[in-house]
């Protein structure tokens, strides 16, 4: 049997995708590119995906993300804030509770994926995930970066929550 191209390229796990489609539940898709974090609220109908709400960490530049940290839009703080923004939008639009689709990325505890999940959870989305997998607060706030990012992080977070 010939292996499908997307499976060979490690882009699609067809068994996992089939099970997600069978469930009929909307899903949040997390993707990491070389520059940004992308989160999408996806609904599937007849094996076709429709993005109802999508967000990229690039939007943080509109929420007072400093220009000097423009190259860190895929960092742990950016992942958290992107998840928080997506969660707020899902709640505002009163969309159905989704499941998480991480695709073929490795799920290593305390990384960007789990920071994104923590942002969704803090926004009010009911996600089943143990707290031991989330990054520490110091890493989420950006105290580990070259320059202390925690004050800027708190300002951005308060503006997102206030909306």
pLDDT tens readout for residues 88-133? 999 999 999 999 999 888 889 999 999 999 999 999 999 999 999 9
- Is residue 85 pLDDT above 90, yes or no? yes
* Mean predicted confidence (pLDDT) in 61-87: 93
Per-residue pLDDT tens for 7-31?
888 888 889 989 988 999 999 999 9
Name the pTM for this structure: 0.92
What's the token pair of residue 107?
């799920």
* Mean predicted confidence (pLDDT) in 46-59: 94
What is the predicted pLDDT for the residue at 144? 82
Confidence of residue 3 (pLDDT cuts 50, 70, 90): confident
What is the predicted pLDDT for the residue at 146? 78
Per-residue pLDDT tens for 130-156?
999 999 999 999 988 878 889 999 999
Residue with token string 């939008």: 89
Q: Could you name the CATH architecture of 5-162?
A: 2-Layer Sandwich (3.30)
Of 50, 58, 54, 55, the closest CA to residue 34 belongs to 58
What lies within 8 Å, CB to CB, of 13 at 6+ separation is 7, 103, 104
**Angle between the N-to-C axes of helices 76-92 and 112-123, in degrees from 0 to 180, rounded to the nearest 10:** 30
């Amino acid at each position: 049997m010939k292996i499908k191209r997307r499976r060979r390229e490690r882009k699609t796990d067809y068994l996992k995708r089939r099970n997600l489609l069978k469930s009929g539940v909307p899903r949040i898709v997390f993707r990491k590119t070389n520059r940004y974090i992308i989160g999408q609220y996806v609904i599937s109908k007849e094996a076709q995906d429709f993005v109802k709400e999508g967000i990229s960490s690039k939007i943080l530049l509109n929420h007072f993300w400093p220009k000097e940290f423009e190259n860190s839009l895929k960092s742990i703080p950016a992942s958290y804030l992107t998840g928080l923004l997506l969660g707020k939008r899902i709640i505002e639009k009163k969309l159905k509770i989704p499941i998480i689709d991480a695709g073929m990325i490795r799920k290593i505890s305390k990384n960007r994926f789990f920071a994104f999940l923590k942002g969704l959870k803090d926004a009010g989305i009911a996600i089943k995930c143990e707290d031991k997998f989330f990054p520490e607060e110091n890493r989420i706030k950006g105290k580990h970066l070259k320059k202390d990012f925690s004050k800027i992080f708190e300002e951005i977070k308060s503006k997102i929550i206030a909306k």
